[in-house]
Amino acid sequence: VQPPEKPLQAEEWNKLRESFQSPEIFEEVMFNSMVRYNSPIDVAKSLLTHMAKSNGDIAYNLLLKYLALCVQQGQTSEICDVYDILKIRFKILESGAYNLLIKGLTNSDKWRMALTLLEEVKKNMTPSRTNYESCIKAASRHQEMNLAFELYHEMLANDLVPTLDILQAFFDFSRGMKGAELQKELFGILSYLRENQIYPHKTFMRSIKLWFESIPGENWKGHLTNIKDSGQCPVCNHQLEDSDLTQEEYNNLRERITRDVIHGTDTFRKTSPQEFEAFQAFVENRLPFDIVIDGLNVSHIKPRRMQCENLFDAVNCLAKDNARLLVLGRKHMLINSSNWKREIMKEMQNKADFFFAENISEDDAFLLYATLRSGQHCKFVTRDFLRDHKASLSDSLTRHLFRKWQRGHQIEFSPSADGKHINFTPAFRYDCVVQTTGDTWHIPYKDSFEEKYSYRAPRKWLCIQQQR
C-alpha cells in the first residue's frame, strides 16, 4: 500500500481501512510502508490520532514503528515524546525500543540522554554492540574522548567485539588532538588489531594514517607500499617481524593439535590409536623433515594428467637442495591402477619418505603432526586451507597461533599459465600483523571492506615512520 501524502481525517482513515483486504493488520502494514516510503511524520501522526481516539490506545509495536519513522527522519523532539509515552505506559522497555531510541538520540544534540538510556538497558540485559557504537560515536563526535574510551573498555569487558566503525571513529575524531593519554589509548586499539589479527580496510587505514600525520609536533609520515617477499619494507628498509612462534607458543600449539585435532572426542574419528602410534614411530625414526607434502592434494593439481605424474613433478620440484621430504598418502595409492602406476610410485619412494594411511583415515591430521614435530624450519605443502582443523581447536588464542603458524609454514602451489609445471608460492617469511618498533608502524590493510577471506593475508601495507 502506498501511504497517503497528507494527514487524513478519521473518516478518511476508516474508508482506507475498510478498502484494505485484511483490516485487522491495516495499521501495521500502513506503518511499515510509511517507514519504507519515508512518509512525512504528520501523516503518521494523523493515523495515530485516529487510532487513539477510536480505540483509546495504541499498541506497542505500532509505537515502535512510529519511533522508527522519527529516527529515520531525525525528529528529535518526537523521539523524546514517544519515549515519555513509552515510559508512562510500560514499566520496562525491550531492546528494540532502546535500539531505536539510542540510535535516534545519539544523532542529535540530546545525545547525552542516550547515555542514561544505555544505563537503563544495562539494568536488564547487556547492551548490543551497536548500542555502544552509537554512544561512542556520539561522544567522540563531541570531543568527549575520555567518555568514549570509558564506554569502549566497558564493552570489551562485556566480551563484545567492537565494530570496525567504532575503532575508526576513535581515529577520525582524535585528529589533531594532543595528549599522552589519548595517544596511549589509540596505540591500544592498534595492538587490539594486532592481537586479534584484524586487518583494517582502506578507509579505516586512511583514518589511521591521517591521525598519525596530524599529531602536533611529532612529525609522522605515512606511505602506502607493498612488502617484498624478503620481508623488507621498501619505504623505510625496515625488516618486518618474522613469523616464527616462540618456543613456548610452538610447544603449546603442537600439544593442542595433537589433543584437539588428532584425538578430539574420539581418536577413531580421524584415525585409530594403532595407526597413530605407527605413524608416530615412523616419524620419530626419520626426523627431521624439511617439507611435508599432502600427496593426494598435490596429485589433483592438473586434472588431465595422471595423478601419480602430478605428484612426481611436485616431488622432483621440491627435492632440490637435499631437502628431506615426507609425502603423506593413503593405501589405495599403492594399488596399481590407471591413476597410480607402480613404477612411478617406486621411483618416487627413492626421493622421499612415504607414509600411507588407511583409506578412511584423515591424512591432514598427520600432515600437521609431522610438520610440527620436525621443528620451526619445516614447511608443508597443500592447497587445503585447513579451516576445519582450525575450527576443531577449542580456544581463540590457539586458533590465532595456528593461523600465524600456517601463514609462515604453508607452501601453496598452482599450475603455471602454460600448464607445464607447478608454481610454488613460498610461505610468508614475515608476520602479517600490525607491528611497531616505536618510531615506525607497519599496518597491513585490505583493499575493500567486503574482502573477507580470512585465509588470505593482505599484501598491501601502510608504513608510518617518525622523522626526526
User: Which residues would be at the binding site for another protein (CB under 8 A)?
Assistant: 7, 9-11, 28, 42, 45-46, 48-49, 51-61, 64, 81, 84-85, 88-94, 96-97, 124-125, 128, 265-270, 272, 359-360
Q: How far is the CB of 451 from another protein (least distance, A)?
A: 21
Closer Cβ to another protein, 128 or 252, answer by number: 128
All cell numbers assigned to 385: 586451507
Q: How far is the CB of 81 from another protein (least distance, A)?
A: 6
164 neighbors 202 (Cβ within 8 angstroms): no
Contacts of 450 (CB under 8 A, 6+ apart): none
Q: Report d(CA 175, CA 189) in Å as an integer.
A: 15
Helix (H) or strand (E) holding 381: strand 379-381
Nearest to 359 by CA among 378, 332, 341: 332
Closer Cβ to another protein, 154 or 275, answer by number: 275
Q: How far is the CB of 393 from another protein (least distance, A)?
A: 16
Closer Cβ to another protein, 88 or 157, answer by number: 88
All cell numbers assigned to 364: 591432514
Closer Cβ to another protein, 46 or 107, answer by number: 46
Nearest to 252 by CA among 428, 427, 402: 402
Q: How far is the CB of 292 from another protein (least distance, A)?
A: 23
164 neighbors 204 (Cβ within 8 angstroms): yes
Q: Report d(CA 267, CA 407) in Å as an integer.
A: 27
Q: Report d(CA 196, CA 333) in Å as an integer.
A: 41
Closer Cβ to another protein, 59 or 323, answer by number: 59
Residue-wise burial string across 264-281, b where 16 or more C-beta atoms lie within 10 A, e elsewhere = eeeeeebbeeebbeebee
Q: How far is the CB of 58 from another protein (least distance, A)?
A: 6
Q: How far is the CB of 126 from another protein (least distance, A)?
A: 8
Closer Cβ to another protein, 57 or 395, answer by number: 57
Closer Cβ to another protein, 129 or 324, answer by number: 129
Q: How far is the CB of 187 from another protein (least distance, A)?
A: 32
Closer Cβ to another protein, 183 or 267, answer by number: 267
Write down the number of H helices and E strands in the chain. 20, 10
Q: How far is the CB of 301 from another protein (least distance, A)?
A: 20
What type of residue sits at position 119? E
Angstrom CA distances, 379 to 279, 305, 326, 366, 460, stand at 18, 26, 11, 14, 24
